[in-house]
Structure 1
């Protein structure tokens, strides 16, 4: 009986086996998990990733979503920051071969004719000062946008709240990121024991920090007199104190003119520009006040309240602004190897223009760059295709990281870029003395147009992505938190007693 039951049970198992279909299991998704993944050679994987990345380039030049009316200014600021990056790399590498005079003088100067010095084209090689002037015009415009709209609406109580918040937050917003970036740079410099061209390292990290503090406290003082205008640890940041002083000029002007009539306000803004450029040597204040004036005029234009003589020019808008753009590109390439106007007169196309320089301006280039940046910022929103370019995802991304890009590109150039340039052939005796193990390790030909040599372009396959990645990191972890901290700090000073002021602080 027991044996029979066992046999009956075996028949049950046989029935289960009969329902089993190996082929159906193989075709199921579960079996696919256990299938071996075909091996792809490493070089094919790299090529695949490169092709995938290149396929996304056209997307980067499509117009970004959720644009604001002034998003094109963000894109312009970002593209200008990229020009500053390129400008400094061009002059750094070619400085070793004594070719900087070609970039910094006009086309045909001293019988030298290079594409990199040709009017208009030269801005893409050495357009750093053109870019900085554009920064200042944009800052004057953007800083004026909210206050000027309140002035035109007659909301003077809100204007006072807005200016109080902006004034309070401006210094820490500009300088906290600089402190963090420079201290990080100093720390890495000492940890690695690196030689930095043009810098003398202190005996210890603590001594270096003390030296930085002593220099920074003077560098960041708005009313500093005498001494060098830059920070030795990052000379590219010379424009930050200028940015702060220009901001103060804009805020003070808006408050002073807040009760004036429209005609009086516009006249006073124009006079401030004239005063700072033609009477006093305050070229940077002239740029900020020009941005403020352009903002005021644009806000009036949106409401159909432009002064009559400007409104009458509307039919000739295209003709005027295309010519202003062309003139901007020419003036933006002002030859400026030194401060001698006589050398400017020797540059082709600049003899008669040199006589326009105001007596008050010591460094003549800023007068022409003021005109160039003004014409550029005024023309872009009136030229549709150009405005769309600065509203693309590429330019908007650069605009988002522009401040961080401005801060980090110098340390990357000095710590890594100098070594890579030496490795591919851009070197001097100092490189042979201090880092001989880097010199000519991967020599590349200097063939190609000036400024676009093979040995100059190849290093940027490493330097540009690295610089952008660091700028992204600094934007996320330093710049954005510092902006939030400044708003939080201002809110704390209000004590939370007045909900209206607290709301303004968070704005």
Structure 2
């Protein structure tokens, strides 16, 4: 992890941090049977002393959200970010906004793994659905936007124009068509490719691994 950090490989650093967080969840017994909610729910009786932990994790999650909101540019002159921007190491080669945004992502995930209230939110059906199609969204948003999305935007700006606040109106109008299209394409990919691939991988694993 230190090597990835010193070489500004924020994406690998996030991957390794995710592995460590998942391993820690496994060690502390946070996982539950499949019949229970998708995310672990910590509903154990709490003593007076441990009642402070929910407050701590709530504040910790707010810190993570704040760090993830690091401006993409001009952070060194943005109120609330001047000091934090000055702490970014000089040797950091990637975009400067990746530094605190990556840190915030790790902080937030750690907080969620210990916060029943956040876990309830992420166990909502709609959130679970977007979690399931998240990889498909990552893969399909580019093709969907290039094939049809940018045509929607061009049409929207043709109606609203691009002067002043009409530019924002055109953006919102285009998004009303682009977002459902991207989600639809991702859903199709998830059902047609992602789910069958996972099923095949599980089947193949069951054939090549000897049962104890």
Identify the TM-score tier after normalising by the shorter chain: 0.7 to 0.9
The Cα shift of 1:415 comes to 1.7
Q: Write the deviation string for residues 170-220 of structure 1: whole angstroms up to 9, x where unpaired.
A: xxxxxxxxxxxxxxxxxxxxxxxxxxxxxxxxxxxxxxxxxxxxxxxxxxx
- Residue number in structure 1 paired with 2:20: 293
Q: CA deviation at 1:491?
A: 6.1
Q: How many Å apart are 1:502 and its aligned residue? A: 4.6
Counterpart residue number, 1:469 = 184
Is 1:444 the counterpart of 2:160 in the alignment? yes
Higher RCO, Cα 8 Å, sep 6+: 1
Give 3-state SS (helix, strand or coil) of 1:352's partner. Answer: helix
Q: Contact 2:112/2:119 (CA < 8 Å) preserved in 1?
A: yes
In structure 1, the partner of 2:197 is: 482
Query: What's the CA shift for 1:367?
Result: 2.3
For 1:386, the equivalent position in structure 2 comes to 118
What are the equivalent positions in structure 2 for 1:346-365 lying under 5 Å apart?
Answer: 346-363=77-94, 364-365=96-97
Q: Normalising to structure 1: TM-score of the pair? A: 0.34
Asked if the contact 1:448/1:454 (under 8 Å) is kept, the reply is no
Partner of 1:302: 29
The count of residues paired between Structure 1 and Structure 2 equals 193
TM-score, length-scaled by structure 2: 0.75
Contact 1:380 1:387 in 2 (8 A): yes
Which portions of structure 1, spanning 4 or more consecutive aligned residues, are displaced by more than 6 angstroms? 445-451
Question: Does structure 2 retain, via aligned residues, the 8 Å contact 1:447–1:454?
Answer: no
User: CA separation of 1:449/1:347 partners in 2, compared to 1, >3 Å: closer, same or farther?
Assistant: same
Answering whether residue 109 of structure 2 is matched by residue 377 of structure 1, we say yes
* Conserved? CA contact 1:283–1:361, under 8 Å: no
Q: Larger Rg: 1 or 2?
A: 1
Query: Which 5+ residue runs of structure 2 have no aligned equivalent?
Result: 31-48
Distance in structure 2 (CA, Å) of the matches to 1:300 and 1:402: 27
Deviation at 1:424, TM superposition (A): 2.0
Deviation at 1:475, TM superposition (A): 0.9
Residue 283 of structure 1 corresponds to 10
1:326 matched to 2:62: yes
1:459 pairs with 2:186 = no
CA–CA distance in structure 2, aligned partners of residues 400 and 423 of structure 1: 31
Instruction: Note closer, same or farther for the CA distance 1:314–1:301 as it changes in structure 2 (3 Å cut).
Output: farther
Give ranges in structure 1 of 5+ residues lacking alignment: 1-271, 304-312, 338-342, 426-439, 495-500
C-alpha separation in 2, matches of 1:299 and 1:463: 39
1:137-174 alpha-carbon deviations (Å, 9 max, x no partner): xxxxxxxxxxxxxxxxxxxxxxxxxxxxxxxxxxxxxx
